[in-house]
C-alpha cells in the first residue's frame, strides 16, 4: 500500500482511530487515581508500611514523569504506533504482576513498570491524533482527547470504590487487562504509523540529562511534603534539578541533534500554550486534592460516594473541552482561554463561600462550572502547543505538554496543601482554646490535619469529641477559603499571560522549514 493510500485510509478511519486512542488514554488515567481508593485495603492485605503506601503511588508518578519526554522522542524517531502498542503491553503485563504480588516492595516495583508503560502511551496518543486529523478538525479531536482524560479521572475513584466494596483488591489491576486487549486489537487495525521523517541521530547526553533533571525535580516535590522542605535531601534534590535543567538547556542549544529543539519556545503559541497547561495543572491538582478531603472528611462521604460526586466535574470538562473548538475557530484561542480563566476565577470565588454543611446541589453546580471552564483552557492550550510544532515533532510536543501539566500539578499539590494545612492548624488551635479541659497534647495532635483531628475526636468523651470534630471541620473551611484565594491568584496570572502572549490564530509551520531547523 503506497503512502497516498495509507493517508487516505487514515483519514477515512480517523474517528475510529480516536475511539481507540480514547481507550488507550483511559487505561493510563484511570489507573492514576484508582489505586488511591485501595490504599487502606492494600495496607491490610499486604501488611504494607506507611512509607510503602506512599511509594506505591509515587513510583508510578515518578517513572511516568521522568520518562515521558524520552518516550515521546523515541516515538517520533521509531514510530508512534509501535510505541503505543509496546506501551500497552508493558502496562498490561505490569498490571498482571501487580495483581498477584505478595508484598508492598514487589507492588512498588510493578507500579514503577506501569509508569514506564504509561509514559510510552500518553504522549504517543496525542501525537497520533495530531498526525491523523487535518488542521481544521484537530481542535475538535484534541478536545475529545482532553475530555476523555477528564472522564478517566472521575471513573478511577468510582471503579476503585466499587471494586473494593464488591470484589478482591486484585481487580483494581486486573481490570486493565480487558481494556488493554481491546486497545491492542483495535489499534492493530485502526492506528496508522507515523514518525519524524527528518529524525537526526539520537541525543544520548540530552536524554540522560532530561531524565536525571526530571527525576531530581519529581523526587524533591514528592518527598518535600513528607520529609519537610528544609530536609537536606529535598533541598539537594531540587537544587540538583535546577542545575541539571540549566545544563540540559545549554546542551540542547549547542548540539546539532537535540532531543528538544529549544527554538520551539520562540513560538508564542507554543510557550503560551505550555504556560496555560502548567498554570491550570498548578491549580487543578491542588483543588481536586482539597475537594477529596472536603467530601470525605468534612461531609463524611465514603470513597465511592466521593467518586460519584466528582462526575459533574468530569462532565463539565468533557463538554467544555468538546465545545471549545467551535468558539476557538470563531473568536480565536486567546479569547477562549481568557474566557476560561475568567470563568475559573468566578467559580473558585464562589467556592470560597462554602461551609461545612453546604448542600451538594450547590457544590455539584460549581463542580460542573469548574470543569467546564477548565475545558475552555486545556483543550485550546493543548491544540496551541501541538499546532505550533511540525507534525514530525508531535511526540516531543505531546510529552512536553504532559510533563508540564504533571510537574505543575505536583508543585500545586505541595504549595496549595501547605497553604491549606497551615491555615487549618492555626485556626484549629484558636478554636480548641475555647474547648474546656482539652489537653495540650490532644490539641497538638489534632492540629496536624482534619483527618488526625477526627481520629482524636473518636477517642474523647462524646461531647468533647463532637466539639473537636466540629472545630476541625470549620478550621478546614478556613484553610479551604485561603486555598481558594491562592487558586484565584493563579487563575488571574494565567489570564494575564494568555491575554498578553497568546496569538489569536494558528499559524501553520511548513515541514520543509522544520526540517531545515
Q: The domain spanning residue 53 has which CATH number? A: 1.20.1250.20
Instruction: Give the residue-averaged pLDDT of 23-43.
Output: 76
**Integer Rg of the chain from CA:** 23
pLDDT band at 225 (very low <50, low <70, confident <90, very high): low
Mark whether 241 and 98 lie in a shared domain.
no
Instruction: Give the residue-averaged pLDDT of 114-130.
Output: 86
Mark whether 192 and 246 lie in a shared domain.
no
pLDDT at 506 over 70: no
Residue 356 lies in a domain: no
pLDDT at 49 over 90: no
Mark whether 43 and 181 lie in a shared domain.
yes
Mark whether 143 and 123 lie in a shared domain.
yes
Mark whether 211 and 240 lie in a shared domain.
yes
Mark whether 126 and 56 lie in a shared domain.
yes
pLDDT at 86 over 90: yes
For residue 1, what pLDDT is reported?
Answer: 38
Range of the domain at 247: 203-256
For residue 91, what pLDDT is reported?
Answer: 94
Mark whether 22 and 138 lie in a shared domain.
yes
Instruction: Give the residue-averaged pLDDT of 293-307.
Output: 79
Mark whether 168 and 131 lie in a shared domain.
yes
Tracing cell 475529545 back to the chain, one arrives at 144
Which set of grid coordinates corresponds to residue 62?
515518578
pLDDT in tens, 450-491: 878 888 888 888 888 888 888 888 998 998 999 899 899 989
pLDDT band at 5 (very low <50, low <70, confident <90, very high): very low
For residue 511, what pLDDT is reported?
Answer: 47
Residue 183 lies in a domain: yes
Collect all residues with Cβ–Cβ distance below 8 Å to 289 and sequence separation of at least 6: 413, 416, 417
* Gap between the Cα atoms of 366 and 317, Å rounded: 12
Residue 244 lies in a domain: yes
Residue 355 lies in a domain: no
For residue 387, what pLDDT is reported?
Answer: 76
Collect all residues with Cβ–Cβ distance below 8 Å to 396 and sequence separation of at least 6: 69, 72, 73, 76, 259, 260, 261, 389
Residue 351 lies in a domain: no
Residue 376 lies in a domain: no
For residue 515, what pLDDT is reported?
Answer: 44
Tracing cell 499571560 back to the chain, one arrives at 497
Phi and psi based region of residue 228 (left: phi greater than 0; alpha: psi -120 to 50; beta: remaining)? left
Rank 7-21, 177-191, 379-393 by mean pLDDT and report only the highest: 177-191
* Gap between the Cα atoms of 95 and 89, Å rounded: 10
Mark whether 12 and 49 lie in a shared domain.
yes
The number of distinct structural domains making up the chain is 3
Mark whether 225 and 116 lie in a shared domain.
no
Mark whether 181 and 67 lie in a shared domain.
yes
pLDDT at 315 over 80: yes
What percentage of the chain has pLDDT greater than the value 90?
9
Closest by CA position to 412, among listed 278, 317, 306, 310: 278
Burial class (CB in 10 A: 0-12, 13-18, 19+), 459: exposed
Instruction: Give the residue-averaged pLDDT of 3-29.
Output: 75
Residue 412 lies in a domain: no
Amino acid at each position: 500500500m503506497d503512502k497516498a493510500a495509507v493517508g487516505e485510509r487514515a483519514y477515512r478511519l480517523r474517528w475510529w482511530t480516536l475511539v481507540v486512542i480514547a481507550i488507550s488514554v483511559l487505561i493510563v488515567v484511570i489507573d492514576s487515581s484508582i489505586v488511591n481508593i485501595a490504599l487502606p485495603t492494600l495496607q491490610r492485605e499486604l501488611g504494607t508500611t506507611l512509607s510503602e503506601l506512599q511509594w506505591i503511588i509515587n513510583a508510578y508518578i515518578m517513572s511516568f514523569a521522568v520518562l515521558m519526554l524520552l518516550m515521546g522522542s523515541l516515538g517520533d524517531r521509531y514510530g508512534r504506533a509501535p510505541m503505543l502498542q509496546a506501551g500497552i503491553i508493558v502496562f498490561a503485563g505490569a498490571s498482571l504482576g501487580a495483581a498477584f504480588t505478595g508484598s508492598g516492595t514487589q507492588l512498588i516495583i510493578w507500579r514503577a513498570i506501569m509508569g514506564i508503560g504509561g509514559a510510552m502511551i500518553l504522549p504517543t496518543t496525542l501525537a497520533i491524533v495530531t498526525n491523523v486529523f487535518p488542521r481544521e478538525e484537530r481542535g475538535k479531536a484534541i478536545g475529545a482527547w482532553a475530555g476523555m482524560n477528564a472522564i478517566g479521572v472521575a471513573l478511577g475513584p468510582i471503579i476503585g470504590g466499587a471494586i473494593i466494596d464488591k470484589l478482591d483488591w486484585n481487580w483494581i489491576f486486573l481490570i486493565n487487562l480487558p481494556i488493554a486487549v481491546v486497545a491492542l486489537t483495535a489499534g492493530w487495525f485502526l492506528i496508522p504509523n507515523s514518525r519524524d521523517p527528518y529524525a537526526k541521530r539520537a541525543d544520548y547526553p540530552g536524554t540522560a540529562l532530561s531524565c536525571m533533571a526530571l527525576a531530581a525535580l519529581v523526587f524533591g516535590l514528592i518527598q518535600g511534603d513528607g520529609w519537610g522542605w528544609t530536609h537536606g535531601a529535598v533541598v539537594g534534590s531540587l537544587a540538583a534539578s535546577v542545575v541539571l535543567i540549566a545544563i540540559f538547556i545549554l546542551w540542547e542549544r549547542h548540539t546539532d541533534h537535540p532531543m528538544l529543539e529549544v527554538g520551539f519556545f520562540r513560538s508564542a503559541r507554543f510557550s503560551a500554550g505550555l504556560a496555560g497547561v502548567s498554570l491550570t495543572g498548578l491549580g487543578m491538582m491542588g483543588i481536586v486534592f482539597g475537594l477529596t478531603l472536603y467530601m470525605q472528611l468534612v461531609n463524611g462521604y465514603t470513597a465511592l460516594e466521593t467518586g460519584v460526586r466528582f462526575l459533574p466535574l468530569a462532565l463539565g470538562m468533557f463538554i467544555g473541552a468538546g465545545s471549545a473548538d467551535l468558539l476557538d475557530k470563531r473568536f480565536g484561542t486567546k479569547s477562549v482561554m481568557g474566557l476560561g480563566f475568567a470563568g475559573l476565577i468566578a467559580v473558585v470565588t464562589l467556592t470560597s463561600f462554602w461551609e461545612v454543611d453546604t448542600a451538594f446541589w450547590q457544590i455539584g453546580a460549581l463542580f460542573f462550572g469548574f470543569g467546564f471552564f477548565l475545558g475552555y483552557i486545556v483543550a485550546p492550550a493543548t491544540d496551541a502547543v501541538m499546532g505550533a510544532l511540525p507534525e514530525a515533532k508531535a511526540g516531543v510536543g505531546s510529552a512536553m505538554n504532559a510533563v508540564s501539566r504533571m510537574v505543575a500539578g505536583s508543585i500545586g499539590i505541595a504549595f496549595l496543601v501547605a497553604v491549606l494545612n497551615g491555615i487549618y492548624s492555626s485556626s484549629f488551635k484558636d478554636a480548641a482554646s475555647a474547648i474546656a479541659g482539652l489537653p495540650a497534647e490532644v490539641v497538638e495532635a489534632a492540629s496536624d490535619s482534619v483527618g488526625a483531628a477526627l481520629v482524636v475526636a473518636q477517642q474523647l468523651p462524646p461531647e468533647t469529641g463532637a466539639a473537636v470534630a466540629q472545630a476541625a471541620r470549620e478550621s478546614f473551611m478556613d484553610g479551604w477559603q485561603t486555598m481558594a484565594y491562592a487558586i484565584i491568584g493563579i487563575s488571574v496570572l494565567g489570564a494575564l499571560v494568555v491575554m498578553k502572549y497568546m496569538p489569536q490564530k494558528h499559524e501553520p509551520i511548513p515541514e520543509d522549514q522544520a526540517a531545515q531547523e
